[in-house]
Chain A
Amino acid sequence: DAKTTQPPSMDCAEGRAANLPCNHSTISGNEYVYWYRQIHSQGPQYIIHGLKNNETNEMASLIITEDRKSSTLILPHATLRDTAVYYCIVRALQGTSYDKVIFGPGTSLSVIP
Chain B
Amino acid sequence: DTEVTQTPKHLVMGMTNKKSLKCEQHMGHRAMYWYKQKAKKPPELMFVYSYEKLSINESVPSRFSPECPNSSLLNLHLHALQPEDSALYLCASSQDWGNSAGELFFGEGSRLTVL
Contacts and interface: CB of A to CB of B under 8 A. Distances in A.
B67 interface: no
Interface residues of A, number: 27
Interface residues of B, number: 25
Interface stretch (A12-20, A21-29, A67-75, A86-94): A86-94
B48 interface: yes
Interface string A82-113: 00010100010111101111111110000000
Given A43-B108, A44-B106, A103 B101 contact: no
Contacts of B42: 85, 87, 103-106
A106 B42 CA distance: 7
Interface string B85-115: 0000010100001111101111111000000
Contact of A44 (B44, B48, B90): B90
Interface string A23-66: 00000000010101010001111100101000000000000000
B104 A99 contact: no
Given A49-B101, A95-B98, A99-B48, 16 more contacts: A36-B104, A43-B106, A45-B106, A46-B103, A46-B105, A85-B42, A87-B42, A91-B101, A93-B99, A96-B50, A96-B55, A99-B97, A101-B104, A102-B45, A104-B42, A105-B42
29 contacts: A34-B103, A36-B104, A42-B108, A42-B109, A43-B90, A43-B92, A44-B104, A44-B106, A45-B106, A46-B105, A49-B101, A49-B103, A93-B99, A93-B100, A94-B99, A95-B98, A96-B50, A96-B97, A96-B98, A99-B48, A99-B97, A99-B99, A100-B48, A101-B92, A101-B104, A102-B45, A103-B42, A104-B42, A106-B42
